[in-house]
Chain A
């Protein structure tokens, strides 16, 4: 159940993390006491059936929601106890999000979507640099409506990493994409994890992706289990679907 003790102090630590939606008869236990240690710089994949609680965990780690019970520490700072302003700052400075449906601002161009974030972060890269990392320099002035799904998702990744977050959270980033496009997106994620050493957590249904991770967890019915640790994660290109 517990992760093997990492050499460095883990970046994110969860203890007995519990999340219950609703109350009484209608109560749904989405997380039933999750313990978790995530070392800096790793690429972590989280597998599990639909409804098993993956998104709930990711959202708690990202500071979008608060646990019902338990401890959630980022560098020793208790995310679970943080107030509104603290969470806003945490999301702005520490976390990068990539969502299944991209969630780009439709009225802003690719570059502006990224600039929106870099303008308020402490040590960002330039929007063009971020676009370069996802291979979309030539699409900088396009609006989301003018981009394909994969391109939109890569812009979303560029937006998430442009502020050099310590934590990149991706919830089914390829869920709405076809296989080929999904590969491009995953490549970008893996490259960024290697190049800038961001701790990256990717939720997916696709067990094949476990190969690309340093560490793989599986989730079922609100409980988390460490499935394996790859000493040699494989590049996305080599995976067979």
Chain B
């Protein structure tokens, strides 16, 4: 007997295939997102954990001016320290034959007389710096790829003012450079900034650092307290120009991986939840309808002695088939998309291996979540089946009770066409169903808003950040802080229209018990090139002792404009001041702080010094400018605005773009699914009524209007609601994925609203059209036979 029921199940599914598929697709979209994001999280997490463990990534880091090698012993015996690695890291300017721009980077020392215990290198190609030798260099993979360098290639480096030819022998990765960017920059610029390794002896000689080190990394003993080790290290390094020790949570590379995972976590929850709720609602409406249609059949089954349980299970199986199809599609989709995104992570993150790892837990979770959604949807419908008494079900259902709609009760009846009245009364008779449809439509509209808000945020950054904020063509930094006069020298370079000097100094900013190490930028008062823009979009002026910090920093430190912060300079005289925060700036790249150049210099007490200059350069003389710059020994590096913009386009913008396309596609699928499903349900519920109208002499288009009227009415209510809802959801989601390193502004453009509206209108029209086409198949004669 059960086989017969299964046969019926097959037939029912076939009859409802397009609706069942619509539900399964909505489910699949939600699950694909969940599986994709959870798998990516797992892939990143595992790749990182493996890498860190195998290559012994340190846990606490510190840079300093210079300390004797003997200090290493003292560090090693600090309580909580398990292993110590000391080394040399210096800035370098490079001259690559086929690169017009001067490149820069950091060179690290590879010790020759002792093994490396922490932050060990991973060799991708060529060889490491084994044995004796000179003029050999290892190059980080990102830089090597961007500049097509391989073992055997020659590069020229300016080491402490002296030019030296170096031969590339190996391409490597290191766990402290998973994310490789200029210090303080949120964006990779792999063509002009790289990481290099040379033999310690050679490097120390060039920089007069023999028998000394300027950076430390330590790993912690089990159970050790990181803050205590940091404090102990700070005390120990202070006399040697320590720049403040920090843990992994402030490590510029690790924090980026963390942030990415945090973004994925944000995405892995909200979206799927919305999609699955919609799927639950759709399951509910499809199943309720199915059960209403099969009233008599159910009654007969019951009369024949089928147990309630058997019949209920029959309908639950219907829902579970949808779940299985949805989960299968979702898993396949999630894997395919996840693989694509993993490939893209190569742009940001350099791991020895970053393989896509399916999160099996997420698949199980999806199955559970979608089953829960489907069961939730089917529960009340099945309850109806159980309650149905056979005798009652064999009688035709009495006509449904209606009453005049609210609008009519308010006396507006004569303004309403009959079809509108029918629609209004229908809606009022089943307010829950109408409400759910409305909410589902609003959600469909809303989720269309989110991905495009991402897109608009990115566009805003592309235009705003690099046209409104950064109006300089290039930023040139000095090898080390120099006199104000250096800016005038730069002004003499060919094509330079205007220069503005700046000073950058590493500080620790603290408020209460929260603190952050970061660069403080000293800018000229009312500067015209690199401007600081307030939250209202207007430029802020730095003057007096006023301090401006980015909103992200304000959040990190938990302060508001007007609050005071303690600033400890980590260089030079190491002064400490307490200053009020004058205002918040907006900055897509996270934490930042600004002061007036003179005020910063007074604070530092080292005279009028600058770290570099912003300059605008005439387009026609760009080549000449770069050539001259390459010959200028004081210029340590140059950041070219267009290159940064390009980098942003290729990395952040591209990944957000891909996510936007995926989500936008999914949202569109959901929008169509919901509207189509609603139209089909309406058609099924009203087919008898519509057939009657046809028999009574109404044309197909008349009847179509009656059918579509209700849907249009609901869509008209849902649309503005959805736009509002979507704006809120976009704000929430962007806030939840905004991290310290990348900040996306919430931009809600009219084109975004227009697109969402268009999709919903299109979905409604198309679904209405499909439903109206089905009117051709309406069985006029059948409608006159027994009630449904």
Contact = CB atoms under 8 A, between A and B. Distances in A.
A97 B403 contact: no
Interface in B387-446: 396, 398-403, 418, 421-422, 425-426, 429
A221 interface: no
Nearest to A159: B696
A100 B695 contact: no
A196 interface: no
A121 to B, nearest CB: 8
B98 interface: no
Interface stretch (B3-11, B296-304, B686-694, B748-756): B686-694
Contact of B400 (A95, A97, A106, A115): A106
B697 A92 contact: yes
A125 interface: no
A103 B698 contact: no
Contact of A101 (B422, B429, B787): B787
A104 B695 CA distance: 12
B689 A105 contact: yes
A120 B417 CA distance: 13
B781 A64 contact: yes
B426 A107 contact: yes
Given A65-B780, A85-B699, A115-B418, A105 B693 contact: yes
A99 B421 CA distance: 24
A92 B699 CA distance: 9
Nearest to B691: A103
A93 B697 contact: yes
B577 interface: no
Given A101-B396, A107-B425, A64 B401 contact: no
A64 B782 CA distance: 10
B376 interface: no
A13 to B, nearest CB: 22
B657 to A, nearest CB: 48
A57 B207 CA distance: 108
Nearest to A94: B697
A88 B401 contact: no
A78 to B, nearest CB: 19
Interface residues of B, number: 31
B697 A88 contact: yes
Contacts of A100: 784-785
Interface in A79-124: 84-85, 88-93, 95, 97, 99-101, 103-108, 112, 115-117, 119-120
A105 B422 contact: yes
A71 interface: no
Contact of B688 (A85, A88, A103, A119): A103
B402 A145 contact: yes
Contacts of A159: 696
Interface string B695-710: 1111110000000000
Contacts of B426: 107
Contacts of A171: 784
Contacts, number: 89
Nearest to B396: A101
A91 to B, nearest CB: 4
Contacts of A104: 399
- B398, B399, B688: residue with the most chain A Cβ atoms closer than 10 Å: B399
B783 interface: yes
Interface in A15-60: 55, 59
Interface string A135-167: 000000001111000001000000100000000
Contacts of B403: 143
The bracket for how many chain A residues form the interface is 35 or more
Given A101-B786, A104-B399, A105-B422, A92 B698 contact: yes
Contact of A88 (B421, B692, B698, B787): B698
Nearest to A121: B697
Contact of B780 (A55, A64, A95, A106): A64
A90 B398 CA distance: 31
Given A105-B689, A106-B399, A145-B401, A117 B781 contact: no
B708 to A, nearest CB: 16
B399 A144 contact: yes
A120 B783 contact: no
Nearest to A87: B697
Nearest to A171: B784
Contact of B429 (A65, A103, A107, A144): A107
A133 B588 CA distance: 78
A51 B656 CA distance: 67
Contacts of A99: 784
Given A64-B781, A85-B699, A120-B698, A107 B402 contact: yes
B696 A119 contact: no
Given A105-B692, A107-B425, A108-B421, A145 B784 contact: no
A112 B425 CA distance: 13
A81 to B, nearest CB: 18
A112 B402 CA distance: 13
Given A64-B780, A101-B786, A108 B697 contact: no
Contacts of A97: 695-696, 784
A92 B694 CA distance: 9
B333 to A, nearest CB: 41
Given A103-B692, A103-B784, A106-B689, A143 B402 contact: yes
Contact of B422 (A92, A107, A145): A107
Contact of A89 (B399, B697, B784): B697
A108 to B, nearest CB: 7
Contacts of B694: 88
- B693, B697, B785: residue with the most chain A Cβ atoms closer than 10 Å: B697
Contacts of A146: 401
Contacts of B698: 88, 92, 120
Given A92-B697, A101-B787, A117-B697, A145 B418 contact: no
B401 A143 contact: yes
A84 B696 CA distance: 14
A141 to B, nearest CB: 9
Contacts of B400: 106-107, 145
5 contacts: A105-B689, A106-B399, A107-B402, A112-B418, A152-B399
Given A103-B695, A106-B399, 7 more contacts: A59-B781, A88-B700, A91-B696, A92-B697, A103-B783, A106-B401, A107-B421
Interface of A: 55, 59, 62, 64-65, 84-85, 88-93, 95, 97, 99-101, 103-108, 112, 115-117, 119-120, 143-146, 152, 159, 171
The 10 closest A-B pairs by CB, nearest first: A92-B697, A91-B697, A144-B399, A145-B401, A106-B399, A103-B692, A107-B425, A145-B399, A107-B402, A99-B784
